[in-house]
């Protein structure tokens, strides 16, 4: 009987449908081809852009920061665009929604003074410690892409935009965006709950209301990307995304990556699925900081999505914040956890304004409490965000170093910016040793030296010798860097005193300090540790000087301009009886001010007026030979370098090397120049070859 009924029920259901006159709508292929839909089209070039406009029924938005247009188009239109070689790809307008869970408990103004709830989330993040140090997020631009922000006594909105299609106002008609904004930047001393001041994590941050979701907390890819486009174009420092979708968007990821490359921090909610490996987009993107939620016991919230993409956790349950109509409300969700991280980043951004977004993200790891298993995990990421002051129980590390100096051997160890080596004695450093003391974090210090005749040696670490002893080889440059957790919390600065150049600028974190290619000895060093992102101990310009290059080209009979030659290479021809007609000379990688000046002696014209830096000296198209040249350095370059040059002359071959403005070639002999070589040498260094007879002149010709 049970088996029979299992057949009868669907059969009877079909009869009911048939005899009730039910006629399901039929959409034929022609009608489907004409149905309109919203899509976003990414183009490769201007032709693609024009094709999108031409093939679409309506253009809704043209993006400012990526080559994309949001349009309304039919299926026929989209087929044409999909087959267009000027189109990169087309994306559906996928849905998004806010990332909160559970009912909203709104507190009317009469309840505000009597409720017993406390602002546990601020205590849990230790934000007050930052305020006590004077950091409140002042001047940091934070865009909240959400349902908008309502007018509220606690909130100061600097600006904003609406991208939804039913209003141009960024006013919040849901409450979610206002709640999120209050967690970031509610003002102090406005209202209290049972005597506790309602204040955001970064109360002085500049809030920007970007309304991308509607009154139900729902939205679509187009509106969110428009909001993201606005935030990028208007130079936001941080973007808060307390929203998500399970669907991937290539353009969304591209725009997130573009924002990150422009230095913007993006923070997003992991989602409220309550499942493992369920992090939503955009939190799932690698350039986004993904945030999970914890409760008052600092345990992962039951609703929180988790996965390997989670970077940090923050309070997300029973969070009181601002709401619509001047009220306050309790809400829960990873939506509420996310703005805590945004606010913490605003505090750190104000404190360390010179740090990049990548460095701030790394620094945030220091400002955490590790929850769950040690290290990063799929539930809490690197831990609960927790502001740590400069003196929060950590020791101050010290850098200790010593140098092996010509005639003296190893000098005694010094530390933290003291001079090691000699100044004014013309004695070379030959080797160094560097180590850390009292390091509060794991990791160490690595370093290497550039040594005469050897070049850069392999990196060593933590007290080992870099350089040579007993070989009379001068060290010429150094590189020093921190590693491990020390690199996340400190910068290492160092500078060198170099023969000829004196003290160079401060180098940082693995940059080169000293000289290369100039045979110039190091004579002293100084090394300092600073807190990550702190100010440098002095000027940072020109910590490293490389030998400048001289580049030059010649215009040759029948050949025209030849490609550029560099640093002593021949430019021109030999053995082909071709005259050299004009020259161009330039300096690259110049470590000092100044340039190069030169003039040519031309058939029938004599010496031309000097020209400089890449200009033409000589003639082209007139059939006139060059007979001689003069080349000189000026400015700071002339103080530290000599320029040598020689020419290949008809019947004579290569003449001797001329120097610093001396003539090279012939005069009054009607001999063509055929090739040149030019080289820079350290001031008063050896000539590159014989200086015998660089210039030959008919004795009867007056001096030129």
Centroid of chain to Cα 573: 47
Phi, psi at residue 389, to the nearest 5°?
A: -75, 175
Distance CA 242, CA 175 (A): 13
41 Cβ contact list (under 8 Å, min separation 6): 52, 56, 68, 69, 70, 71, 81, 87, 89, 90, 91
179: enclosing H helix or E strand = helix 176-185
Phi, psi at residue 539, to the nearest 5°?
A: -65, 140
- Tell me, yes or no, if 214 is annotated catalytic: no
Phi, psi at residue 80, to the nearest 5°?
A: -65, -40
Strands 695-697 and 663-667: parallel
For residues 485-516, one letter each, b for 16 or more C-beta atoms within 10 angstroms of the residue's C-beta and e for the rest, the string is bbbbbbbbbbbbbbbebebbbbbbebbbbbbb
Distance CA 391, CA 404 (A): 36
Q: Which two tokens stand for residue 289?
A: 């900081």
SS3 percent helix, strand, coil of the chain, rounded to 5, is: 20, 35, 45
Strands 596-602 and 658-659: unpaired
Torsion of CA 298, 147, 138, 396, to 10 degrees: 30
Q: Which two tokens stand for residue 227?
A: 């909001």
Task: Tell me which residue of 466, 458, 184, 197 sits closest to 339, measured CA to CA.
Answer: 184
What is the residue-wise DSSP string for 500-564? Answer: TTEE-PPEETT-EEEEESS---EEEEEEEEEETTPPPSS--S-SEEE--EEEEEEEETTTEEPPP
Establish whether the linkage from the previous residue to 282 is cis, with ω within 30° of 0. Answer: yes
627 Cβ contact list (under 8 Å, min separation 6): 601, 602, 603, 665, 666, 667, 669, 670, 671, 672, 673
Centroid of chain to Cα 639: 37
Catalytic one of 70, 130, 152, 176 = 176
Distance CA 140, CA 158 (A): 11
What is the residue-wise DSSP string for 111-164? Answer: HHTT-----HHHHHHTHHHHHHTT-S-TT-EEEEEES-----TT--EEEEEE-S
27: enclosing H helix or E strand = none
CB 420 within 8 A of CB 411: yes
Distance CA 378, CA 551 (A): 56
Catalytic one of 51, 56, 70, 146 = 146
CB 175 within 8 A of CB 150: yes
- Tell me, yes or no, if 146 is annotated catalytic: yes
β-sheet bridge partners, residue 432? 403, 466
Which residue reads 């490996």 in tokens? Answer: 277
- Tell me, yes or no, if 169 is annotated catalytic: no
65 Rama sector, left if φ>0, alpha if ψ -120 to 50, beta otherwise = alpha
Task: Tell me which residue of 248, 250, 252, 270 sits closest to 260, measured CA to CA.
Answer: 252
Catalytic one of 293, 335, 420, 498 = 335
Q: What is the number of other CB atoms lying within 10 angstroms of the CB of residue 116?
A: 6
Q: Is 647 helix (H, G, I), strand (E, B) or coil?
A: strand
Distance CA 555, CA 552 (A): 10
Catalytic residue ranges = 146, 176, 335
């Amino acid at each position: 009987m049970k088996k029979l009924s299992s057949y009868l029920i669907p059969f009877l259901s079909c009869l009911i449908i048939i005899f009730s006159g039910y006629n399901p709508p039929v959409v034929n292929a022609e009608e489907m081809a004409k149905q309109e839909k919203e899509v976003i089209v990414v183009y490769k070039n201007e032709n693609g852009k024009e094709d999108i406009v031409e093939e679409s029924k309506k253009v809704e938005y043209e993006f400012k920061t990526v080559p994309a247009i949001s349009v309304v188009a039919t299926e026929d239109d989209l087929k044409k665009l999909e087959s267009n070689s000027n189109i990169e790809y087309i994306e559906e307008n996928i849905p998004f929604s806010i990332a909160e869970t559970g009912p909203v408990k709104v507190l009317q103004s009469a309840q505000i003074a009597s409720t017993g709830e406390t602002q546990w989330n601020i205590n849990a993040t230790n934000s007050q410690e930052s305020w006590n140090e004077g950091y409140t997020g002042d001047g940091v631009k934070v865009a909240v892409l959400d349902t908008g922000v309502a007018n509220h006594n606690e909130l100061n909105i600097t600006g904003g935009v609406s991208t939804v299609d039913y209003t141009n106002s960024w006013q919040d008609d849901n409450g979610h965006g206002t709640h999120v904004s209050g967690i970031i930047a509610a003002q102090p001393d406005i209202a209290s709950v049972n005597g506790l001041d309602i204040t955001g994590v970064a109360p002085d941050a500049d809030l920007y209301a970007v309304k991308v979701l509607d009154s139900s907390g729902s939205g679509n890819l187009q509106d969110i990307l428009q909001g993201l486009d606005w935030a990028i174009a208007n130079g936001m420092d941080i973007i808060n995304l307390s929203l998500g979708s399970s669907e991937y968007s290539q353009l969304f990821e591209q725009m997130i990556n573009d924002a990150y490359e422009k230095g913007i921090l993006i923070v997003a909610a992991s989602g409220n699925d309550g499942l493992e490996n369920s992090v939503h987009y955009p939190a799932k993107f690698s350039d986004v900081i993904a945030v999970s939620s914890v409760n008052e016991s600092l345990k992962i919230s039951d609703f929180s999505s988790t996965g390997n993409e989670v970077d940090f956790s923050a309070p997300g349950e029973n969070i009181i914040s601002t709401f619509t109509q001047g009220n306050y409300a309790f809400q829960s969700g990873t939506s509420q956890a996310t703005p805590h991280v945004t606010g913490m980043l605003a505090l750190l951004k104000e404190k360390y304004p010179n740090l990049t977004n990548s460095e701030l993200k790394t620094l945030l790891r220091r400002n955490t409490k590790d929850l769950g298993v040690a290290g990063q995990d799929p539930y809490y990421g690197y831990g609960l965000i927790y502001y740590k002051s400069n003196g929060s129980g950590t020791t101050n590390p010290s850098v200790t170093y010593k140098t092996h100096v010509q005639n003296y051997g190893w000098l005694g160890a010094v530390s933290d910016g003291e001079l090691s080596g000699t100044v004014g004695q013309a004695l070379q450093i030959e080797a160094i040793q560097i180590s850390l003391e009292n390091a509060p974090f794991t990791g160490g210090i690595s370093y290497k030296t550039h040594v005469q005749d050897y070049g850069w040696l392999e990196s060593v670490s933590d007290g080992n010798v870099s350089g040579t002893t007993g070989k009379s080889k001068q060290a010429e440059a150094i590189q020093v860097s921190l590693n491990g957790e020390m690199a996340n919390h400190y910068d290492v600065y160092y500078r060198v005193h170099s023969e000829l150049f004196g003290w160079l600028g401060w180098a940082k974190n693995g940059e080169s300090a000293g000289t290369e290619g100039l045979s110039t000895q190091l004579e002293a060093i100084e090394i300092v540790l600073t807190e990550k992102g702190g100010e440098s101990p002095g000027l940072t310009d020109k910590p490293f000087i490389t030998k400048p290059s001289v580049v030059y080209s010649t215009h040759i009979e029948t050949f025209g301009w030849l490609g550029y030659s560099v640093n002593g290479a021949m430019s021109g021809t030999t053995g082909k009886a071709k005259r050299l007609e004009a020259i161009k000379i330039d300096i690259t990688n110049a470590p000092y001010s100044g340039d190069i000046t030169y003039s040519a002696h031309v058939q029938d014209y004599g010496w031309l007026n000097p020209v400089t830096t890449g200009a033409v000296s000589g003639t082209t198209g007139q059939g006139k030979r060059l007979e001689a040249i003069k080349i000189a350095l000026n400015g700071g370059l002339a103080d530290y370098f000599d320029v040598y040059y020689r020419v290949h002359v008809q019947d004579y071959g290569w003449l001797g090397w001329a120097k610093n403005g001396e003539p090279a070639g012939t005069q009054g002999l009607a001999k063509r120049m055929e090739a040149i070589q030019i080289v820079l040498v350290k001031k008063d260094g050896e000539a590159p070859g014989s200086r015998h007879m660089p210039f030959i002149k008919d004795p009867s010709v007056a001096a030129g």
